[in-house]
Amino acid sequence: MNVQAPAADAAADMLLASPVIARVGVIGAGQMGNGISHVCALAGLPVVLLDVKQEALDKAMASMGRNMDRQVNRELITALEKAEALARVTTTTDYAAFADCDLVIEAATEKEEVKRAIYKVLVPHLKPSCMIASNTSSISITRLGASTDRPEKFIGMHFMNPVPVMKLVELIRGIATDEPTFQATQALALRLNKTTAVSEDFPAFIVNRILVPMINEAVYALYEGVGSVVAIDTALKLGANHPMGPLELADFIGLDTCLSIMQVLYEGLADSKYRPCPLLVKYVEAGWLGRKSSRGFYDYTQTPPRPTR
């Protein structure tokens, strides 16, 4: 007589069947990519970090070193742990270096056409069992996965910025993502000492579905003359106990990223409440992208930063 295993046993079997992630690839050496590499290396994982520019890779390694120095000074890690972690990171401009990776995390700019172009170059170099995760903060995981040869092994793994400090990782399954891929990335997040929140594959997921429209509304308040930059940021910091005001936060995230997320929400949900503020569009068109361009709602060439409006 056949006896079905209890649900708990079935779940345990599924977990045991999940692929083990022993080597991680990261695409993009910007703020998110170097942060993801940082936490993976500190967790004992060999990391292959790729960017199209050697200069960006050198900058990322220097940034990782400085950020780990802060952790050493705060006695969160030892100097030896820092040295061992940095030694685990290999930098490259060649996609062939991902041949032995079990998971590749794409952390490129928040533009769908850029991500699709990356996957086209990436997938021929991967072993059949390799999974792909996108650090996208808003774009459809189902659609991105469908542009690869392995949609069942494709998942959203949205880290928060700055990655070494922020505890959350959003996990987003596309319609084709299989259970072993979900379980493997869930286990990786736990190994990185992160807490996960599982989101359905809707535009902007959980965090940015709520956060970025708030920022957009703050830009509307500035645009309509409801308050100045300083007044709006002070009101939210002291009135809602936020560590940063919404305009300061927008500069930290990057105004181009905020605009991209609002466009994804507006196009994906067809609701006028997600219409990007014309002032946000104007700042991005001017190249005033926030901290990374030294000017956004604040001018960062001065100390302290001065409001630009």
Catalytic residue positions, numbered: 137, 158, 170, 208
Structure letter (DSSP) for residue 290: B
Helices marked H in the chain: 7-17, 31-42, 54-73, 79-87, 112-122, 141-146, 179-191, 207-223, 229-239, 246-253, 255-269, 278-285
> What helix, strand, coil percent values describe the chain, rounded to 5?
50, 15, 35
232: CB partners within 8 A, 6+ apart: 218, 221, 222, 226, 245, 246, 247
Angle subtended at Cα 276 by Cα 261 and Cα 136, rounded to the nearest 5 degrees: 5
Question: Of 175, 200, 203, 197, whose CA–CA distance to 260 is shortest?
Answer: 203
Residue that is written with structure tokens 């466009």 in the block: 263
End-to-end CA gap in the chain = 77
